[in-house]
């Protein structure tokens, strides 16, 4: 039977990444003055598993490198080596190195061994030369040594006296004899001399010994292999039957040996036993090395397949069990309904209603639980930060304490994958621009060690992620002057603190006086905001000068489902994401102002809000053309509020988002589509796109508020 | 058909072992550490135990020791999956009552050959 090992590669990659994460966080938490046994065991186990798995699945590059890592860890674990800060860094670099290698293998590339070789040299310097045997040197053993020396032998004479406890280890002489008989013609004769009198017999002990004669071309290696597990505790002598003997003569010869065997051979046994013990490891090594070679040859074909493999997700069995339960409920409800439908009488109406209600409930539960499958704890995204902060604070000479809160908060896998980079950017930003240097902090009467907190929690169908630092906070004056300098705002407008802080998210804004290695990577806060908005989320900043900043990211729990507000314009039904709706109002004359440039604005509580007529933008026929007749839905996108004129508000419901881009092409102002209960397709509106489409972007928003300010003045 | 209890904290190894054994017609029970294996062994009838050595919660050697105290598992073959560098572990396992070992890395063919050695 041949098993295609490549089917397990993906699982191996994933568990290796997890193992590396475990290693990394344990290494970062390690207290060198008082190394916790379990921590070092944890690191060792992770490295050990990666080594074992990579060997099994034929990734010898990783197995070879992990071997030296593991060897040193083993020495540390057994207190034969004292770990110092430099070694922690070496291990951390190895973690990175293995991660890169796995990454390369996962994408079907060959491993870049440059760093691995470099690190390996460092490890070898730390280790005594002779301690690095195992995989690396095993691979060097040529299989030339594997030739059997006893080809000429006609067979083997074996004396085997197992230890008394052999049966209690699950070994069974009969089983071994059966195995031997597969190698050739076997004759056995039991030596029963040492069986004690029946009164003192232990029924579970084995008092017998055997003389065996094996005829045929079996090699000594093969014979040894049969006794591999018991050789250390047993008396075993294997002597070749002299060559040149005729087959027919073998039998009496063997019998002769048998006669004297019990006494003589057990005496002379000592020497040959030693011999077999010594030989064994080298044979073992050879067999593993050839096995390794075999699998290595296979890898090129395997790699191609790995590329096409789709990403998998590991789901807790409790989630699956819940699902199965729920499907069971659903099936029961379904059969109840179909029973009811067989010959439906009107008096069964209440029953039908009840059934439908149940169906609705189960469907909802099922939906929620299916969503939970894709949910992973945010610790997956948070886990990289201890390392990042560790490395960065070292580079910047800052002292930083990182606090992670709400790590078990669950989030959709796709959202998680896409929020990683923006999060990294924000944390980098806080570390680089937010936190002050230790001296400065002391001067200001703050704790020398700055604090960055990552906090995640659920709030009304959203997940909130906060990046909180106790650094300098945003410098509003500098932001404002920079914004004026860059022409993002004019000097004579009234901006609230919030609005000023928000300027940092505008394209082309950067206050960093010099571009540092850390955050000056050509990506600004505008990209952070855009990335988050692509996920239907938002990002805001609150800041108090001298006390720190709080960046708050708000994200939907999943990208597949949206809480929507259905609205209609004429016969068309559109959907607003519920999160973007601020309020809905019925306007009257006095609230509407017409400003130069042909744009109507709504004056609402001293704020001027541009009006967008949805029928105009999408060119559909509405029921109400004028603002006075219809309803105004105030929505917010890109931190701009607009009032959208619609005919009516319909239901609020969860809708399943279908991509328009994938099925058709990108449509401005529309983020997706969904299918409603009656089967019609409804478009989901993208507020920021809509604002651009209607041409009431920030500029006109600014102009409106300016001109009105002037009017007021 | 014979039932094999496969114990390993690595999911990929467990999958590989389980897939191989099932393909050869064995029933397989999986466990991810020694404690879970022990719990499962107590409530099911297992003909052979295949266990990793390095595992969290309860390691393979402790598992062997514990299994041997159960009357149902006094003579049951227990094989350890060890790495070639862990020579002392083999001996430790043997004295705890393990039947034998299979050296990692191994391929499915080697696994089946070893199982066959014990199960016939």
pLDDT in tens, A220-245: 888 888 888 888 788 888 888 875 54
Give tens-digit pLDDT for A513-556: 444 444 444 457 888 888 888 787 888 898 888 889 999 998 88
pLDDT confidence tier of residue A152, bands split at 50, 70 and 90: low
Asked if pLDDT for residue B84 goes beyond 70, the answer is no
Report the alpha-carbon distance of residue B29 to residue B8 in Å, rounded.
Answer: 11
Rounded to 5 degrees, φ, ψ at A119 are -65, -35
Cis peptide before B94 (omega within 30 of 0): no
pLDDT of A698: 54
Are B76 and A170 in contact (CB < 8 Å)? yes
Are A52 and B55 in contact (CB < 8 Å)? no
CA-closest candidate to residue A415, choices A535, A311, A580, A554: A535
Report the alpha-carbon distance of residue B45 to residue B32 in Å, rounded.
Answer: 18
Are B10 and A1 in contact (CB < 8 Å)? no
Half-sphere exposure of B4 (CA within 13 A, CB side): 28
Contact residues on chain A for B87, CB-CB shorter than 8 A:
281
Task: Locate all alpha helices (DSSP H) within A184-246, ordered by sequence.
Answer: 220-226
Mutation to test the B interface, candidates A132, A181, A229, A316, most B Cβ within 10 Å: A229
The mean-pLDDT minimum among A58-67, A148-157, A281-290 falls in A281-290
Are A204 and B74 in contact (CB < 8 Å)? yes
pLDDT of B47: 92
Half-sphere exposure of A253 (CA within 13 A, CB side): 18
| Identity of the residue in A56, A135, A204 whose CB atom sits nearest the CB atom of B106 | A56
Rounded to 5 degrees, φ, ψ at B48 are -155, 140
Are A48 and B83 in contact (CB < 8 Å)? yes
Asked if pLDDT for residue A76 goes beyond 70, the answer is yes
For helices A85-106 and A60-77, angle between their N-to-C axes, nearest 10 degrees? 160
Among B residues 64-93, those touching chain A with beta carbons less than 8 Å apart = 68, 74-78, 81, 83-85, 87, 91
Asked if pLDDT for residue A257 goes beyond 70, the answer is no
The mean-pLDDT minimum among A125-129, A237-241, A285-289, B10-14 falls in A285-289
Report the alpha-carbon distance of residue A450 to residue A470 in Å, rounded.
Answer: 6
Report the alpha-carbon distance of residue A326 to residue A627 in Å, rounded.
Answer: 48
pLDDT confidence tier of residue A140, bands split at 50, 70 and 90: very low
Q: Is B58 on the interface with A (CB under 8 A)?
A: no
Tell me how many residue pairs between chain A and chain B have CB atoms under 8 A apart.
128
The count of domains in chain B is 1
Cα angle value A133/B52/B18 (rounded, 5°): 120
pLDDT confidence tier of residue A459, bands split at 50, 70 and 90: confident
Are A284 and B103 in contact (CB < 8 Å)? yes
CA-closest candidate to residue B74, choices A501, A184, A366, A167: A167
For the segment A416-431, the average pLDDT, to the nearest whole number, is 88
Are B109 and A288 in contact (CB < 8 Å)? no
The set of residues, in sequence order, having a beta carbon less than 8 Å from that of A492 and lying 6+ positions away, is none
For the segment A667-675, the average pLDDT, to the nearest whole number, is 87
pLDDT confidence tier of residue A596, bands split at 50, 70 and 90: low
Asked if pLDDT for residue A411 goes beyond 60, the answer is yes
Give tens-digit pLDDT for A614-650: 988 888 998 888 888 889 999 987 668 889 999 999 9
Report the alpha-carbon distance of residue B4 to residue A601 in Å, rounded.
Answer: 75
Structure tokens at A382: 């948070």
Are B85 and A71 in contact (CB < 8 Å)? yes
Asked if pLDDT for residue B48 goes beyond 90, the answer is yes
Are A3 and B97 in contact (CB < 8 Å)? no
Asked if pLDDT for residue A298 goes beyond 60, the answer is no
Q: Is the dihedral of CA A622, A624, A626, A630 positive or negative?
A: negative
| Identity of the residue in A11, A53, A284 whose CB atom sits nearest the CB atom of B84 | A284
Continuous segment of H or E residues that includes residue A548? strand A548-556
Are A11 and B118 in contact (CB < 8 Å)? no
* CATH code (residue B95): 3.40.50.2300
Rounded to 5 degrees, φ, ψ at A47 are -65, -40
Asked if pLDDT for residue A147 goes beyond 60, the answer is no
Going by their DSSP bridges, the two strands A155-161 and B100-104 should be labelled as unpaired
Contact residues on chain B for A42, CB-CB shorter than 8 A:
56
For the segment A268-276, the average pLDDT, to the nearest whole number, is 41
pLDDT of A505: 84
Contact A651, A621 (CB under 8 A): no
pLDDT of A276: 40
Mutation to test the A interface, candidates B15, B26, B105, most A Cβ within 10 Å: B105
Q: Is B12 on the interface with A (CB under 8 A)?
A: yes
Going by their DSSP bridges, the two strands A462-469 and A548-556 should be labelled as antiparallel
Our CA-based measurement puts residue B110 at a distance from the nearest CA of chain A, in whole angstroms, of 9
| Identity of the residue in B16, B56, B110 whose CB atom sits nearest the CB atom of A8 | B16
With 0.80 as the threshold, say if the pTM is over it.
no
| Proportion of chain A above pLDDT 90, given as a percent | 8
Question: Tokens 């090992």, residue?
Answer: A5
Quote ipTM for the complex: 0.87
Q: Is B36 on the interface with A (CB under 8 A)?
A: no
Strand partners, A643: A611, A634
pLDDT of B86: 61
pLDDT of A520: 45
Task: Locate all alpha helices (DSSP H) within A619-697, ordered by sequence.
Answer: 660-663, 687-693
User: Which one is predicted more confidently, A497 or A710?
Assistant: A497
pLDDT of A511: 52
The mean pLDDT of chain A is 78
Range of the domain at B108: 3-119
R_g over Cα of chain A: 38
Are A7 and B19 in contact (CB < 8 Å)? yes
pLDDT of A706: 55
Our CA-based measurement puts residue B66 at a distance from the nearest CA of chain A, in whole angstroms, of 13
Contact A435, A398 (CB under 8 A): yes
pLDDT confidence tier of residue B24, bands split at 50, 70 and 90: confident
């Amino acid at each position: 039977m041949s098993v295609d090992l490549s089917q397990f590669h993906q699982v191996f990659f994933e568990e290796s990444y997890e193992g590396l994460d475990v290693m990394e966080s344990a290494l970062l938490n390690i207290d060198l003055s008082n190394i916790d046994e379990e921590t070092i065991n944890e690191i060792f186990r992770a490295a050990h598993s990666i080594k074992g798995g990579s060997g099994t699945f034929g990734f010898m590059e990783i197995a070879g490198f992990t071997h030296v890592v593991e060897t040193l860890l083993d020495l540390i674990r057994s207190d034969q080596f004292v770990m110092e800060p430099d070694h922690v860094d070496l291990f951390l670099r190895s973690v990175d190195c293995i991660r890169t290698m796995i990454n390369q293998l996962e994408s079907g590339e060959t491993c870049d061994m440059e760093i691995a070789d470099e690190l390996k040299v460092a490890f070898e310097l730390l280790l005594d030369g002779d301690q690095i045997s195992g995989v690396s040197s095993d691979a060097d053993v040529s299989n030339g040594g594997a030739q059997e020396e006893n080809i000429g032998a006609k067979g083997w004479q074996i004396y085997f006296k197992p230890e008394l406890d052999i049966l209690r280890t699950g070994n069974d002489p009969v089983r071994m004899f059966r195995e031997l008989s597969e190698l050739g013609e076997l004759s056995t004769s039991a030596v029963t001399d040492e069986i004690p009198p029946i009164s003192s017999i232990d029924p579970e002990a084995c008092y017998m010994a055997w003389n065996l004669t094996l005829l045929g071309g079996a090699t000594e290696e093969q014979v040894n292999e049969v006794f591999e597990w018991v050789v250390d505790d047993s008396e075993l002598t294997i002597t070749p039957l002299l060559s040149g003997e005729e087959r027919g003569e073998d039998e009496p010869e063997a019998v002769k040996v048998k006669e004297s065997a019990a006494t003589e051979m057990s005496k002379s046994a000592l020497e040959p036993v030693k011999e077999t013990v010594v030989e064994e490891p080298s044979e073992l090594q050879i067999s593993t090395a050839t096995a390794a070679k075999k699998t290595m040859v296979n890898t090129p074909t395997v790699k191609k397949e790995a590329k096409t493999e789709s990403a998998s997700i590991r789901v807790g069995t409790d989630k699956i069990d819940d699902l199965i339960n729920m499907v069971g409920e659903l099936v029961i409800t379904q059969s109840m309904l179909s029973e009811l439908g067989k010959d439906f009488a009107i008096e069964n109406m209440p029953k039908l209603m009840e059934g439908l209600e149940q169906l609705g409930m189960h469907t909802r539960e099922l939906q929620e639980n299916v969503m939970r499958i894709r949910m992973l704890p945010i610790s997956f995204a948070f886990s990289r930060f201890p390392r990042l902060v560790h490395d960065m604070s070292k580079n910047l000479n800052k002292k930083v304490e990182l606090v992670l809160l709400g790590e078990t908060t669950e989030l959709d896998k796709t959202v998680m994958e896409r929020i990683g980079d923006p999060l990294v950017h924000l944390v980098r930003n806080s570390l680089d621009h937010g936190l002050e240097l230790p001296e400065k902090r002391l001067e200001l009467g703050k704790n020398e060690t700055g604090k960055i907190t990552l906090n995640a929690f659920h709030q009304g169908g959203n997940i909130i992620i906060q990046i909180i630092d106790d650094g300098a906070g945003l410098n509003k004056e500098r932001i404002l002057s920079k914004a004026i300098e860059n022409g993002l705002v004019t000097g004579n407008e009234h901006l609230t603190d919030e609005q000023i802080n928000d300027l940092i998210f505008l394209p082309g804004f950067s206050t960093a006086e010099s571009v540092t290695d850390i955050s000056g990577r050509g990506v600004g806060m505008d990209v952070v905001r855009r990335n988050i908005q692509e996920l239907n989320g938002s990002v805001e900043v609150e800041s108090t000068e001298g006390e720190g900043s709080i960046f708050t990211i708000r994200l939907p729990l999943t990208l597949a489902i949206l809480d929507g507000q259905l609205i209609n314009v004429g016969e068309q039904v559109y959907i607003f994401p519920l999160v973007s709706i601020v309020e809905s109002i019925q306007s009257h004359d006095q609230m509407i102002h017409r400003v130069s440039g042909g744009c109507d604005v709504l004056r609402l509580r001293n704020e001027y809000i541009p009006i967008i007529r949805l029928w105009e933008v999408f060119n559909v026929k509405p029921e109400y053309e004028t603002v006075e007749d219809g309803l105004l839905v105030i929505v917010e996108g890109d931190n701009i509020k607009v009032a959208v004129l619609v005919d009516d508000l319909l239901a609020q419901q969860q809708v399943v988002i279908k991509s328009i881009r994938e099925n058709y092409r990108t449509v401005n102002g529309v983020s997706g589509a969904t299918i409603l209960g009656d089967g019609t397709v409804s478009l989901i509106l993208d507020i920021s796109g809509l604002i651009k489409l209607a041409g009431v972007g920030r500029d006109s928003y600014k102009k409106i508020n300016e001109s009105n300010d002037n009017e007021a003045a | 058909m014979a039932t094999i209890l496969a114990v390993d904290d690595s999911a990929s190894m467990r999958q590989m072992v389980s897939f191989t054994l099932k393909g050869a017609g064995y029933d397989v029970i999986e466990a991810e550490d020694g404690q879970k294996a022990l719990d499962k062994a107590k409530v099911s009838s297992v003909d052979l135990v295949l266990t990793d050595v390095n595992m969290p919660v309860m390691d393979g050697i402790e598992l062997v020791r514990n299994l041997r105290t159960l009357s149902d598992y006094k003579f049951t073959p227990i094989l350890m999956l060890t790495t070639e560098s862990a020579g002392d572990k083999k001996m430790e396992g043997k004295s705890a009552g393990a039947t034998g070992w299979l050296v990692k890395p191994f391929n499915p063919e080697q696994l089946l050959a070893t199982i066959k050695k014990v199960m016939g």
